[in-house]
Amino acid sequence: MGRSHAGGGAAIPDILLQTDAVLVIDKPAGLPVHAGPRGGASLEDALPALALDKKRPPQPAHRLDTDTAGCLVLGRTRPALAELGALFAQGRARKTYWAVVVGGPAAGSGRIDHPLRKVSSAAAGWRMEAHPTGQQALTRWRVKGRGAGLTWLELRPETGRTHQLRVHCAAEGWPILGDPFYGAATAEGLHLLARAIALPLTPPLEATAPVPAAMRAAFAACGWQDAP
């Protein structure tokens, strides 16, 4: 809907969908949703400019990794934020991700159900790992294209664990391209896009994020073609 622009010293992400109660924005890769203890830019800097005609800034209704680009849902009012939070907590929001993975599955579709747990050490910090004692985590996947030793996957998480898609793909032997945690970093960054979101509100809402410029070459190598 809109173009990124500067406001109040913060870059304002594109708005993909706007209603009186809900915004869906296109979060850039590398931008954390919340400010960390070390400071630095975050989406919180842009929220006042995203208030638009409201008295209060909108607030994120769910999480999206710093390294992940794409659809992020914001509630514009307190009742809307509560309703959206319940949708995500109950797993009723339909999230669709696109990823380019290194290698790829032999089959055309399937599911991954490795439980996940958080581990940490003073030397390496924290990360998630697949482990039988972890929390249940389920991801469904479908191949959309292949090429150049890469595979383009559509991923649908049915649970919302931290780094779920990244760990699940890596545990299967096909890490997401550019993943610095669970694969190998690249100059283009993590090739994981929160492609679409469908919200069962009244009326239902849907939004789709474009493929970022840094990811286009890898997706194109797997057969993706940009819409005219």
Opening angle at CA 39, ends 22 and 99, nearest 5: 55
Helix, coil or strand: residue 225: coil
d(CA 168, CA 61): 24
Name the DSSP class of 166: H
Catalytic residue among 14, 20, 53, 65: 65
C-alpha neighbours within 13 Å on the C-beta side of residue 23: 24
CA 212, 5, 95, 205 torsion-angle sign? negative
Per-residue exposure over 24-63, b if at least 16 CB sit within 10 Å of its own CB, e if not: bbbbbbebbbeeeeeeeebbebbbebbeeeeeeebbbbbe
The yes-or-no answer on residue 113 being catalytic is no
The phi, psi pair for 43, rounded to 5°, reads -60, -30
Residue with tokens 């990124």, as numbered in its chain:
4
Tokens of 31: 């931008």
Q: How many CB atoms lie within 10 A of CB 76?
A: 23
Tokens of 73: 């849902």
Tokens of 85: 């939070």
Active site residues per annotation: 65
